[in-house]
Structure 1
Amino acid sequence: MLGLPKGEVFLVPWSKAWNKEFLLEKEKIQDLMNEYVLNIHHIGSTSIEHLCAKPVIDIAIEVRDFNDGEKASLFLEKLGYFYHGTNILPERHYFSKGEPRTHQIHLYQYGNKYLLEQIRFRNYLRNHREARIEYEQLKIRLAKLYKTDKHTYAEEKTSLVQSILEKV
């Protein structure tokens, strides 16, 4: 299942289909934007086996020059993405697809600290079952508390995320 309606927060059990969906989307992006793309990563909870998640595929694209993000919007619009600009999240171009939203792209300049943190966090949870379970339990509790407040849901995860990043 993919798709998160605007203004809602809910989690679904992990699915093998998420990685397949990422790989399909990655191929489409690579075909259209090959000259700009250095790497494409599956990030977020859908990229971590056995972790429940909001049903949205998070994709990180690395480019050489941050200014290539605006050029990317022309390509990504062909795949159904909407460009939200650079003011939504720090140091990234943000795109979303669908309503309900099924995919989101975070486009970073190569070596961006926020991207590197996301990859380190993802890899840690992939390799540390106990941390993954602790994170999942927190997400479940927060999703029940903040069913219509995605910003508070995200903010309330910050201290656990930071404590994990300090271990890496």
Structure 2
Amino acid sequence: MHVVVTDYNEEWKQRFSEESQKIKDIFGEELIDIHHIGSTSVPGLKAKPIIDIMPVVRDIDKVDSFYAQMEGLGYECMGELGMKGRRYFRKGGDHRTHQVHVFQADNEEDIHRHLAVRDYLRTHAEQAKQYGDLKENLAKQFPKDIEAYMDGKDAFVKELESVALHWYRK
């Protein structure tokens, strides 16, 4: 996967809105809420142009019955993919456009972690700029090595999550 980080794009909001509606149509009554998360959800933040979507559902096991419909939208169904209690879908192959991270409503730890980071970065412009600059520099340094890119931002992200969760719980 080629690592590309771009300036914020206003179209990301619309791409989220369009895709989330398709997911709402599939998940129906199982869906409680749906959130735009990740860097593309933070105005002004440099990001990989991949829309992260977080549906919150009543029963995570029922999501498995939506695999065929999600595949019909072009998603690859990845199961938990290393995170217990999640269902993960990705779209676009090596040129990924969307990622869907589904959690059951009582999985407050993972849901709050994603929302805390998003909301913290939306209200703390200096930290958002630092994070965007780090990602941009890592993408230039490791344009063909997603693992090195991810490793390079790991310590920053862990600290960001910790600070954001503390802020979010206040």
Give the TM bin, normalised by the shorter chain. Answer: 0.7 to 0.9
Alpha-carbon distance in structure 2 between the residues aligned to 1:90 and 1:141: 31
Q: 1:81 aligns with which of 75, 86, 98?
A: 75
Equivalent residues in 2 for 1:5-154 (5 A)? 7-99=1-93, 100-112=95-107, 113-154=109-150
- What SS does the aligned partner of 1:139 have? helix
CA RMSD, 1 decimal = 1.6
**Number of residues of Structure 1 aligned to a counterpart in Structure 2:** 162
Deviates more, 1:90-99 or 1:127-136: 90-99
Poorly superposed stretches of 4+, deviation over 6 Å: none
Contact 1:95 1:106 in 2 (8 A): yes
Task: Please state which structure has a larger fraction of its residues in helix.
Answer: 2
- What SS does the aligned partner of 2:148 have? helix
Deviations 1:13-38 (A, max 9, x none): 11110001100111111122112111
Gaps of 5+ in 1: 1-6
Cα distance, 1:89 vs structure 2: 4.1
Cα distance, 1:146 vs structure 2: 1.9
Gaps of 5+ in 2: none
Q: Normalised by the size of structure 2, how large is the TM-score?
A: 0.87
Deviates more, 1:10-19 or 1:64-73: 64-73
Q: Normalised by the size of structure 1, how large is the TM-score?
A: 0.88
